[in-house]
Every structure is written in C-alpha cells, then in structure tokens.
C-alpha cells in the first residue's frame, strides 16, 4: 500500500509515539491534509457515536483508507494497580468501537486497520526470547493483565473480522518504548523516564540517594520511539492480516543495570536504595524479532546508550520546563 495516496487516521497521534509516527508519515510524502488526528474530548473513542462521527468527519465525508490505532490508557505498575477496571474498559472499548465502525461503515472493503498491541499481553513466564506463538500459553503478569488482555482481545477481533469480512489489518507488539518526548509524569511514567527524572531531580536537590521500586532483578528490552514508528508504518504498507509481529531492539537489560547506566549518563553520584516491598513486575522481557525482519524487512537501528543520552538531553533542555519538578517513586 502506497501510504502517500491514502487518507490516514492516527488515533493517539498527538501522543509520544503518535507525534513521531505522524512526522515520519510526512517525511515519506503523506500530506498534512491526508493525516487526521482525533483529539479528546471532541472524540471520546470509548464512545461508539464518537467513533462513528470520527469516520464521518475526518476527511469531510471522504472515506478513511487507513486507521493506525495508537491511542491507549496506560501507565506503569502503580497506575495499573490503581486502575485495572478503567484500563481494561477504555482500551477494550476503543478497539471494539473503532474496528466495528470501520466495518459497519463499509470502510473495511478497501481500507486497512493497524492495531498496536502491547508486550503486556504475553504470559507472565513466557520463555525468553518471547515468540509470537507463545501469546496464549499462560496468563499475563498480574499487575498489568487487564490492560494486556484488552489489547490481546483486539487482535482476536481483527482476526475474526479478517475471516468473516475480509478486513485487512495488522497487529504489532512493540516492547517498552523510550525516547525524547516520553511521558515523564510521576503518576504514570514508565521505567526509563521515571528513572531519568528521579536522577535529575536528585542532582538538582543535592540528594545523597534515590529510592527505586523492587529488587532490580527483573529484565526489560527497550525500543527507541523512532524505530517503533518506522516498524508500524512498514506494517501498514505491507501487512494485510493480523498475524502478531514483535517489534523490539534485540537485547535485554536488568533494571539494576539500567539504573546504573542512567546514573552514569545523568551524572548522579549518590546511593541507589532498592525497596523490595514494591513489585518487580514481569520477571523478564525480551523479544524474538525474526518475524518482523522476515515479514516487514524491519530492524531497530538506535544504539541504546545513544538513545538514552538523547532522552536525558531532551528532558534537561525541554521536558523539565514542561512539568514542575517534584519527587516521585519509580515504577514501570
């Protein structure tokens, strides 16, 4: 599919990943007039009427050709523990209404629906590296299971709609994202922005230590936001069925080693104190990305150390001015 000739709706297009993805679409020649980003509260995507209005209004009545569904309600371990019902409902409702209205309004005959899922859909003890055929071999890690199950249900909906209605679609499973423009909000940030902010605040305050959740033994894989965006766009171009595809960087790092690296790169010289009464989350996360290479011809490009350096620099020069400095606890 030549995306430069399509009318594209990008839900969540004004978010962290969405801004980068829309920028890449423009760089590839998609005109601004062919990209529509629904905003809240004008379009509450958990409401079926709002989804119907979105498809009617996005391009002044002209049909939508592609939906790239990035919008989600998501947060770290703490936020997931506090909002399991909301996270399940919001993410399930958005996918349910957007996919069904895409079909009901006749857009599925020629269009395509691209759903971005989550690594949280994998079972808690998935063998490492995670392969896509392991998705149903167990229950997700408990703290983020409602969110993960809702995102996985969207994949099953797309698979069913492919079988019954011939809807073209794609389903991606990106690993934990990071990069400039990430969410550094202390109430909902993930592990990398939380740790960066914690170290920078500690330096500014002259603190002699920082406190971190868990034991540091859990491992994670991280994908630079620009790499994630390019993989999603590539899937929109070449995939017509929702076979799940991992998007990852092909490496694994423990949270302990991660915080030590961020401490080094930020210049914090104090003590790291771990709170083992707080949860570690899923024990390990690292993806097998061979399917992405085979089906999409895609591989991540950003060196992790360089990506972290760019993210830290963004926070110090831009991000910190956007959010008042205040203490926070690190979760993911």
73 SS3 class: coil
Rg over CA atoms, the chain: 20
The residue behind tokens 């629904």 is 38
CB–CB of 237/262 below 8 Å? no
| Residues in Cβ contact with 21 at an 8 Å cutoff, skipping those fewer than 6 apart | 10, 13, 68, 70, 229, 232, 233
| Residues in Cβ contact with 217 at an 8 Å cutoff, skipping those fewer than 6 apart | 254, 255, 256, 280, 283
147 classed as catalytic: yes
Among 147, 161, 171, 178, the one annotated catalytic: 147
CB–CB of 98/69 below 8 Å? yes
Residue 84 main-chain phi, psi, to 5 deg = -60, -40
Angle between helices 191-205 and 255-266 (to 10 degrees): 40
- In the DSSP assignment, the letter for residue 121 is G
Separation between Cα atoms, residue 123 and residue 149, nearest integer Å:
10
Catalytic residues: 147
């Amino acid at each position: 599919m030549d995306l430069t000739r399509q009318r594209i709706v990008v839900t969540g297009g004004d978010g962290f990943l969405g801004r980068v993805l829309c920028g890449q679409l423009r760089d590839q020649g998609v005109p601004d007039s062919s990209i529509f980003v629904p905003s809240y509260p004008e379009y509450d995507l958990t409401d079926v009427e709002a989804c119907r209005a979105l498809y009617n209004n996005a391009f002044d009545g002209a049909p939508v050709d592609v939906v790239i569904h990035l919008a989600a309600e998501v947060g770290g371990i703490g936020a997931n523990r506090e909002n399991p019902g909301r996270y399940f409902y919001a993410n399930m409702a958005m996918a349910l209404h957007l996919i069904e209205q895409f079909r009901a309004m006749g857009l599925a005959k020629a269009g395509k629906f691209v759903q971005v899922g989550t690594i949280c859909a994998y079972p808690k003890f998935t063998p490492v590296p995670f392969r896509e055929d392991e998705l149903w071999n167990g229950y997700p890690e408990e703290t983020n299971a409602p969110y993960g199950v809702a995102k996985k249900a969207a994949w099953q909906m797309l698979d069913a709609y492919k079988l019954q209605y011939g809807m073209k679609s794609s389903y991606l499973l990106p690993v934990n994202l990071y990069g400039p423009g990430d969410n550094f909000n202390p109430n909902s940030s993930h592990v990398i922005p939380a740790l960066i902010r914690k170290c920078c605040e500690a330096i500014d305050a002259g603190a002699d230590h920082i406190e971190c959740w868990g034991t540091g033994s859990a491992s994670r894989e991280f994908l630079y936001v620009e790499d994630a965006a390019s993989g999603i766009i590539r899937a929109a171009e070449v995939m017509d069925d929702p076979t799940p595809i991992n998007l990852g960087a092909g490496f694994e790092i423990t949270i302990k080693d991660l915080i030590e690296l961020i401490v080094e790169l930020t210049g914090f010289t104090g003590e790291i104190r771990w709170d083992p009464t707080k949860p570690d989350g899923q024990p390990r996360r690292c993806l097998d990305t061979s399917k992405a290479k085979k089906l999409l011809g895609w591989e991540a490009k950003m060196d992790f150390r360089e990506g972290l350096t760019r993210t830290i620099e963004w926070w110090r020069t831009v991000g910190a001015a956007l959010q008042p400095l205040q203490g926070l606890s690190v979760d993911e």
